[in-house]
Amino acid sequence: MDHRWKALVAVVVLALPLGGCHVGQRDVLAVGTCVVSGDRGTTPVACGEPHTHKVIAIAPRPEDCPRETDMFAQPADQGQGTTTECFQKDAATK
């Protein structure tokens, strides 16, 4: 019985990285992605829908965003990377 428990634990430990336990880099939004920014964070939406901002650049640090950047986002946990998404208010917002 003890051998079965060890085998089960080994399977679970090996399956976590392959399954839903995602640790590491977060997904970065592509340049041109439209988003709604509000109290609940930044949510990607289709650019044909009402939106507040558009991703204009991806930079290594906030200081490297273009001058026209109105806001930026980067992971709260440095373990998820340091990539910065640079946003500009989108004049095409409905």
**Does pTM surpass 0.95?**
no
**Chain segment 9-50, per-residue pLDDT in tens:** 554 545 545 444 445 556 889 999 999 988 888 899 999 999
**Chain segment 72-94, per-residue pLDDT in tens:** 998 877 777 779 999 999 866 55
Can you give the residue ranges of every domain in the chain?
Answer: 24-89
Look at residue 63 and tell me whether its pLDDT is greater than 50. Answer: yes
CA distances 35 to 2, 23, 52, 80, Å, are 52, 24, 6, 21
pLDDT at residue 22, rounded to an integer = 46
Look at the chain and count its residues.
94
